Amino acid sequence: MRFELALQHWEVFASGVWMTLHLTALCLLIGGCIAIPVAFAMLRGGVSGWLATGYVYLFRGTPLLVQLYLVYYGLSQFDFIRETWFWRPPAYLRSACIEDLMGWKVCAADFIPSLRSAWWCALITFSLNSGAYVGEILRGALKNTPKGELEAATALGLTDKQVRRRIHIPSAFRRALPQYGNEVIFMMHGSAIMSVITLQDILGVGRWLRAKYYVPYEGIVASAILYLVITYLLVFAFQLIERRYLRHLNIKAPGAERGWFGRSAV
Amino acid sequence: MRRSASTEARDAASLVLWVCPVNRAARLIPALGVVAALILLLTFAVGDYQALLLKGAAVTVSLALCSLVLATTLGIAGAAAKIRGGRILRFIASIYTVIARGIPDIVMILLFYFGGQRLLNAATEAMGLGVFELSAFVAGTLAIGLIYGAYLAETFRGAWQGLPRGQIDAAKALGLPTVLAFRKVYLPQLIRAVLSGYSNVWQVLVKSTAVVSVIGLADLVGIADKIGKSTRDSFMLMTIVLLFYLTLTIISERGFGWLERRSDRWAS
């Protein structure tokens, strides 16, 4: 047992935590932007509804790891993708660089999704995955909005657009909060597979420690503890948020009552 | 009042649908499409690798089923400890559910694969036995079973607590022996209450099995990854794996849907 190795390299673990957290946060942000139109399309039906349902079904019915392999190893084999900007941005974007406040070099080309980089592949896959899961959660919440709530808003003279923006979406968000909390935690857990495509997240750093010092499990135990701590910090944070935003419901927050159940598949 | 043309058209359409339920059949089209695409690609698109891929698929399915058995056992034990156990048992059970649900599946699998071998070596050495190798399959089953056992423990406990107390009192009042009361009164209602949660856990569990390929198990994902890298056609191979998992999802959705409808006859 040489756990002092993990403590000695705490900076590397801190960078791993940053990698996990910032990628998860970005994916949830982009996924949320995908989820709103997807949820409305699923409710409306028609061709867009079919497409949205297919998208949600595809991403919820298959493992994240396979999706990641498909994007990371699969897309790169096509020549027509290798010829686009998504493989190699043009030279004038690569050379348009500035030094940011931290002294790092940032180029215009860095903002174009590159299928060559593991980070972008992980971001694309996880965002699409999260968009599907959040879309499904949101669809349920939008559908379960009490009819009277929307009718009351219409009766008050709000236009359809106003009803949607000011009543329907906020109210659905509120009711989706406990499930959304589970989704955030599952996204954070799911992001651990990015270490498979060479990214140095929490688990990646744990495996790096294992390879560097040839210690069998100390690095992985350290990452497991970090994941455990972050998970329960998130659970705690969501309990606070739920208490704040669901206090109009006369019961305890449903998430707190039910206990944390994890991502639901159906 | 004259009926509008659109109303008439709608009525005619619903009559046609009533006579010949194409609507119901149409709902099956996406599912059948997925299965057909899987079979077509497997037959024509992968050359001589079908046998290998099918073997991998069998490994994936058996891994999922073995993990489910372990998870169910652990779930029942955990729920029983939480409901009936003394202070120590309850404490152990809650520590277990907290830890198992707080760690990602891939971390748990690596932990079991690397750490489990050390533990096993120490144990066999202490007992004076030879060296046993902890296979990737066993490590994966243990890790996945352990994680989803914790989820199932919560599901089972919730179902037990949702059981109407009156039913238990009634069974007692009728003088039913405990075993009979459990079999005839509690169990049907428990199954009904547990099914949707159980189906949820099963579907997440199936998707978790893909991760075991990371420790070198020759399951569908592992094999497809290797073939894809040697034939330089990862896209096709991964598409097949994707379709296979979709098929599994469709089958389990339909199967559990059927079970849930059947168990509705036990509705209290």
- DSSP calls for B20-36: S-HHHHHHHHHHHHHHH
Answer whether residue A17 shows pLDDT above 80.
yes
A62 to B249: CB separation less than 8 angstroms, yes or no = yes
| Listed residue (B261, B253, B111) closest to B192, CA to CA | B261
Does B48 map to a domain? yes
d(CA B250, CA B59): 19
Task: Using pLDDT thresholds of 50, 70 and 90, give the confidence band for residue A184.
Answer: very high
Number of domains in chain B: 1
Which two three-digit tokens encode residue A167? 């009543």
B107 to A192: CB separation less than 8 angstroms, yes or no = yes
Burial of B85 (0-12, 13-18, 19+ CB in 10 A): middle
Chain B interface, best mutation among A17, A62, A198, by max B CB count within 10 A = A62
Answer whether residue B120 shows pLDDT above 90.
no
A220 to B115: CB separation less than 8 angstroms, yes or no = yes
Q: Provide the CATH number for the domain around residue B74.
A: 1.10.3720.10
Cβ pair B209, B64 in contact under 8 A? yes
pLDDT at B20: 64
B238 to A66: CB separation less than 8 angstroms, yes or no = yes
Q: Which residues contact A209 (CB under 8 A, 6 or more apart)?
A: A5, A6, A9, A12, A215, A218, A219, A222
Where is pLDDT greater, at A62 or B85? A62
Which two three-digit tokens encode residue B148? 């989803």
Residue with tokens 């890790």: B143
Q: Give the homologous superfamily in CATH for domain A4-83+116-258.
A: MetI-like (1.10.3720.10)
pLDDT at A1: 66
Residues of A in contact with B105 (CB under 8 A): 189
Q: Select from B118, B154, B158 the Cβ nearest to the Cβ of A216.
A: B118
pLDDT at A258: 45
Chain A: residue whose CA lies nearest to B213: A65
For residue B233, the enclosing domain spans 34-266
SS3 A83: coil
pLDDT at A262: 47
A77 to B232: CB separation less than 8 angstroms, yes or no = yes
Burial of B257 (0-12, 13-18, 19+ CB in 10 A): middle
What letter would DSSP give residue B3?
A: P
A70 to B242: CB separation less than 8 angstroms, yes or no = yes
Tens of pLDDT, residue by residue over A194-247, are 999 989 999 999 999 988 998 878 899 999 999 999 999 999 999 999 888 887
Q: Which residues contact A45 (CB under 8 A, 6 or more apart)?
A: none
Chain A: residue whose CA lies nearest to B113: A217
d(CA A257, CA B162): 13
Q: Select from A66, A192, A220 the Cβ nearest to the Cβ of B221.
A: A66
Answer whether residue A74 shows pLDDT above 70.
yes
B200 to A264: CB separation less than 8 angstroms, yes or no = yes
Tens of pLDDT, residue by residue over B246-261, are 999 999 999 999 999 8
pLDDT at A87: 80
- Pick the range with the lowest mean pLDDT from A119-123, A258-262, B43-47, B259-263: A258-262
d(CA A19, CA A230): 13
d(CA A12, CA A20): 13
Does B28 map to a domain? no
Tens of pLDDT, residue by residue over B176-217, are 888 888 888 888 888 888 998 999 999 999 999 999 999 999
Q: Select from B118, B196, B210 the Cβ nearest to the Cβ of A217.
A: B118
Averaged pLDDT of chain B: 88
Cβ pair A191, A23 in contact under 8 A? yes
**Interface ipTM:** 0.86
Cβ pair A187, A198 in contact under 8 A? no
Q: How many CB pairs under 8 A join A and B?
A: 144
Where is pLDDT greater, at A254 or A196? A196
Chain B interface, best mutation among A217, A223, A230, by max B CB count within 10 A = A217
pLDDT at B89: 94
Distance of CA B25 to the CA centre of its chain: 27
A67 to B242: CB separation less than 8 angstroms, yes or no = yes
Query: What residue segments make up the domains of chain A, in order of their start?
Result: 4-83+116-258
Where is pLDDT greater, at B10 or A96? A96
